Structure 1
Amino acid sequence: MAIVRIMRAEQFGLKREVEYGSPEQNEVVRTIIADVRNEGDAALLRYTAKLDRAELTAAELRVTQAEIDAAYDQVDAAFLTAIREAAVNIRSFHEKQKRNSWMDLQPDGTLLGQILRPLKRVGVYVPGGKAAYPSSVLMNVIPAQVAGVPEIVMVTPPSTGGRDGIDPGILVAAAESGVKEMYRVGGAQAIAALAHGTETIAPVDKICGPGNIYIALAKREVFGAVDIDSIAGPSEIIVLADEFADPAYIAADLLSQAEHDEMASSILVTPSEQLASAVAAEVERQLATLPRQAIARASIDSYGAVLMVDSLEAGIDVVNKLAPEHLEVLTADPMRLLGLIENAGAIFLGPYSSEPVGDYFAGPNHIIPTNGTARFSSPVNVDDFLKKSSLIYYSKEALLANGDKIMTLARQEGLEAHARAIQIRLEREGR
């Protein structure tokens, strides 16, 4: 039987080290990446047969339009309506993040600015392990589209839907998002193909999307050849609540994260002993009928807790220290506390803002920093798919006025050629 730990916040330590993998796992990943880089499709097909037990030819790697059309026949109308409305909400939210290039013409004729351009080609990895996540397809693809990325390619293991092949929900979500290029390939070999290219799959500029330890290690290995979104850890939620909160709501929300993964973390922070006891009992009651009970039970046993604090303000200190992926504030006046929250990936205020609202439908991105990285990083957004170039048009007047200062700084660093590049221009202008 699962036991929800109730303890003082000072006694709690959530220690989940960044996953660097074992030496054996790292060696496997490096070998796969090197083979795909050197052999292209041949290695891609070999590892797909070995690891995914799918015998394919190069011509069968790409998902056909007929398969996409068939996927639409396999999903029900309610799913299609929901995914379309969610896509509208996600697109509307991310449209508000768009920024423009800018230029600043100064009185001396100097023109300074910044040019924003979208990445040309982005790869989205969609996992197929414990569950298929069509919603994550939307969350990766739509911000890239809003940024203006012209080429978006999706890769997913050949059996995300079991023996029937790719999960139809994933194919429909990708098609509804506007993805035109999809491949049935997964694992570290898919990451290698996206990073370095093969005869069938052209290389990308950035790789996004979650996955298992081999995906995480592969993304880390290819970073530098391409950009990556992040190395995501297990999901996590903190609920900050007072005596006015509903224990059933809190328990349901804690379990909504616990069912993701045995290493997911679900924590209640409260000054109310009565609420703490009620939530612990409610978690046990709801857990008994949960379809993914074994996963959620392991998560609650290992990483679940109720943390007691002296006040809501003290609870905010705990929140800011842990920097959770998801934070729900279920208090009598949640807006009063908002200004005190410094570190959280996504903040949900009030009893009707359950975390799944953000996971699926409201519009903000559900790909959020984990493992305390909300201290310095942000949810996936439009800026993740843009590159920026600085623009400098320096006028003669400005160079004559500032050339001596530039040469002083260059010579301070021992870079005489830098200084002379300015000096020769000043001399030509009679200085």
Structure 2
Amino acid sequence: MAALMLLYLLLPTILGQSWASEPTESELELLTRELLESAKEAEFFAWMTGMRRRIHQYPETGFEEHRTSQLIRTELESLGIEYTWPVAKTGVVASVGSGSKPVFALRADMDALPLQEQVEWEFKSKIDGKMHACGHDSHVAMLLGAAKLLQSKRDILKGTVKLVFQPGEEGYAGAYHMLQHGILNDIDAIFFIHVMPSLPTGVIASRPGPMLAGAGLFSATIKGKGGHAAAPHKNKDSILAAASAVVALQQIVSRETNPLEAGVVTVGYLKGGEAENVIPESVNFGGTFRSLTMEGLSHIQERIKEIIEQQAAVYRCTAVVDFMEDRPLPHPAMKNDDALYEHVKNVGEVLVGEPNVHLMPLTMGAEDFSFFAEKTAAAIFFVGIKNETLKSSQHLHSPYFFIDEEALPLGAALHAASAISYFYRHDVNTE
């Protein structure tokens, strides 16, 4: 204990410029704790919450994050951090460190959802019909916090940290489009933090291997022949055809998928007609499909198209099905790299203690971060934001979603400590 206390007292001196030799595990652990303490300091915490609240009040949806992107760039400039912009329209990629290999990337998504916020608080969304209901505002704030921490320790970075501020996660495959730029071709690993309202504040969670489902979207238009509801025999009922197709789609999972394999087909909207006594000319509906394997995704997508088209034909209608593949969709399933998972897990145990690092169950939620995982070692960890006093336990994508901002310092420190220690704990080919 005395030796650890001495190291703690000497840490500012040890870290002031650079380590004379490879740091010990004790020194890395002390640094990890110091990063968290720095992020918790009143001035630092106020700065991070201020960033998050400014973004929250002015939410922007996919590839429209102009205000958010400008705020990020302004803060990076104030920290003396160089960046590249635009990457995938509004994205920003900044760099801290030596400029050489290895390269460890940290990612935050920036976009909001087309959702009306129902939480009444001082910093409620000022944009009608748009809301940060998935915590991307907090993701940006945590990564900016990590940028500040890393910049203060840049002299001990044995490599380069790339800070990836990504647009268009919510259904726009922003990760895919950032990869097309080429600026991330040199990364050796990438790490992402997502807030989670089912986990108490102060808890982190993840799992090795399969983590999240692959996901696609679809929309369908069924066209019939409109006319008076009193004479259905003179029409071709698009409503009836659509209703039959929606019901039939449920059989893909219930009757065609192995019960031991996970799959989802959900219709999220159905639009058709405006009058009670008129059969509409056409009906539009759409939804999402998910699987933990690419084979499962392909099968479900094929069957969605077949079922909708054939059900439309039964009722003498026609159907056009769109899978929005130009975005591109579907997203692949997300698998955490085992070694990177263990690395971040070890860092997390230093920050919050082993009992507060949980094994996350598999979920059919999806993340376009999986595009990064196809290219390099990647891992997602979840940081808890649940606080019953604040009522911050509402699920993601809820109009009542709210976060406990006390989680922000933990996220910033987990980002920064995972990056710094990665360079010393991994034998990465730097040639």
TM-score range, shorter chain: under 0.3
TM-score, length-scaled by structure 1: 0.21
Greater share of helix residues, 1 or 2?
1
TM-score, L = length of structure 2: 0.21
Larger Rg computed on CA atoms = 1
**Which one has a larger percent strand, Structure 1 or Structure 2?**
2
